[in-house]
Amino acid sequence: MHETPPDPRPAPAASARRSGGGSCLAALAAGVIGGLIGAVVTAAVLAVIWQPFSDTDADTPTGTATQTPQPGVTIDVPDADLSYAEAVAVKAMPSVVSVAIKQSVYDPFTGGTTTQVVGNGSGVIIRADGYIITNDHVVAGADAISVTIGVDTLPATVVGRDPSSDLAVLKVDRTGLPAIEIGSSADLRVGQPVVAIGSPFGLDQSLTTGVVSALGRTSYMESAEAQLTAYTSLIQTDAAINPGNSGGALTDAEARLIGINTLIRTGSEYVAQSAGVGFAIPVDYAISVADDLIETGRAEHPYLGVSSMTISEQTAAWYELPVDAGVLVDSVASGSPAERAGVQAGDIIVRIGDGQVASVEDMFLAIRSHQIGDDVKLGIVRGEETLTLDVTLGSDGAR
């Protein structure tokens, strides 16, 4: 689901950065938005990291995208005594690309406009006919984008962006590319070896190793467009992830894509660098969003249909509310799942499914952790009554 918050403000840039070329974002404290839980990633500073730099690089027009899937390049690992990291490097590295972000800038010497490379990120080839998945924050604000595949640098177009999941798909006019083998994030185990591949600090084709440190991490941030981005069921890893790694690949020991590298945790809000705690968007979710973007140019998410605000002890006392934590429903969208379930303005949502709801962010993450069409129980406080309402989540694409 994706509810629209009334006038959320961009947070200070130092609070959070992503790991590719894009905007600096901050962790959202509390706000007004309609419903979306998971165990929120806590402590230090969560950062969506990116790598800015300056260089002059002229644009070239993109070609016409080829929509028919083409045979890809199959990379066989030689029958040799290789470590798993060496084998992954051989098989998966050709599928991971460097993404250069360009912006138009005023040239005071000529009085004209030039295009400069202002940052870099990473991407992963997921279809042989030129489709590349990356993070949305990598491409946000770009006037032009180029992608380096092997020794070739090609112009790329944006097929679709989904700021609420921090995913985007690019397209280059090239066929027969080495698309990565898609794995699964459904059966990952803590402790299993993983490899992170990307372009940290602009150093393309860089590989680091580690393990799955934890599963099911969840967080949220405010995007450059003042939308709430939900990171649900993140994969945590100690494989080094640094600025420029955003949008790159997290693979298993068989070189299968299991996640898209996206976040790091850093001990300082001013220094975005690896602290051995990085996070990747699970591949099962990432590919489903990418497929939607390729097919329709947009992604759909579970939708409840309320405008709401977080209840604090102060607001509870001020308005003499019966609870001091939860989400106060300000309005209910006409025809929405919430309206059909009987949710009313003035209701206080305190539980979704088996999870407590103490804030708008809790609700946002709770809804986003489900699927469109899921039946969910809402715990509601209405006056002096405590109710349980059954709601079938809709699609934000149907609004």
pLDDT, position 349? 96
Q: Is 375 within 8 Å of 390 (Cβ atoms)?
A: yes
Q: What pLDDT, on the 0 to 100 scale, is given for residue 55?
A: 34
Superfamily of domain 302-398: PDZ domain (2.30.42.10)
DSSP label at 2? -
Q: Where are the domains of the chain?
A: 53-171, 302-398
Catalytic residue among 2, 137, 301, 370: 137
Higher pLDDT, 165 or 232: 165
Give the tokens for residue 191. 């402790």
Please report which confidence band the pLDDT of residue 207 belongs to, taking 50, 70 and 90 as the band edges.
Answer: very high
Contact between 64 and 257 under an 8 Å Cβ cutoff? The reply is no
CA dihedral of 155, 156, 157, 160, whole degrees rounded to 10: -170
Pairwise CA distance, residues 121 & 70, whole Å:
26
Residue 305 contacts residue 337 (beta carbons within 8 Å) = yes
pLDDT at 8: 29
Nearest Cα neighbor of 157 from 61, 261, 298 is: 61
Contacts of 155 (CB under 8 A, 6+ apart): 59, 60, 61, 62, 63, 144, 145, 146, 147, 172, 173
State the residue for tokens 């092997």: 150
- Active-site residue among 129, 136, 166, 252? 166
Q: What is the pLDDT of residues 255-301, one digit of tens each?
A: 999 999 998 876 655 555 667 899 999 999 999 999 999 999 988 88
Residues 6+ apart with CB under 8 A from 29: none
Asked whether this chain's domains 53-171 and 302-398 adopt the same fold, the reply is no
CB 352 within 8 A of CB 308: no
Is 76 a residue whose pLDDT tops 80? no
Nearest to 131 by CA among 299, 297, 290, 246: 290
Active site residue 137: yes
What is the Cα 241 distance to its own chain's centre? 15
At 268 the pLDDT is: 57
Q: 87-110 pLDDT, tens per residue?
A: 999 999 999 999 999 999 888 888
Return left, alpha or beta for 369; rule: phi > 0 is left, psi -120 to 50 is alpha, else beta: alpha
Per DSSP, 243 falls in state: T
What's the pLDDT score for residue 44?
38
Rounded CA-CA distance 121/99 in Å is 5
Per-residue model confidence (pLDDT) at position 46: 56
- Beta strand 278-282 with 228-237: parallel, antiparallel or unpaired? antiparallel
Report d(CA 109, CA 374) in Å as an integer.
59
| Residue of 215 and 18 predicted with greater confidence | 215
Residues 103, 109: contact at Cβ < 8 Å?
no
Q: Is the pLDDT of residue 398 over 70?
A: no
Q: Provide the pLDDT for residue 50.
A: 52
Is the pLDDT at 351 greater than 90? The verdict is yes
| pLDDT band at residue 375 using 50, 70 and 90 as cut-offs | very high
pLDDT in tens, 299-346: 888 999 999 889 988 888 888 899 999 999 999 999 999 999 999 999
pLDDT band at 137; cut points 50, 70, 90: very high
Higher per-residue confidence, 337 vs 30: 337
Cα 349 from Cα 360, distance rounded (Å): 10
Residue 66, pLDDT score? 33
CATH of 53-171, one of 3.40.1790.10, 3.40.50.460, 2.40.10.10, 3.40.50.2300: 2.40.10.10
Q: What's residue 22's pLDDT?
A: 38
Quickly tell me which residue has 């006019």 as its tokens.
173
pLDDT of residue 73: 54
Of all residues in the chain, the percent with pLDDT exceeding 90 is 54
pLDDT score of 4: 34
pLDDT digits (tens, 9 = 90+) for 45-71: 556 655 654 333 333 222 323 333 445
For the residues 23-47, what does the mean pLDDT come to?
35
Quickly count: other Cβ atoms within 10 Å of residue 268's Cβ: 12
Element (DSSP H or E) covering residue 295: helix 283-296
The pLDDT, as a whole number, for residue 33 is 32
Which one is catalytic: 164, 219, 223, 246?
Answer: 246
pTM: 0.74
Q: Please state, rounded to an integer, the average pLDDT across all residues of the chain.
A: 80
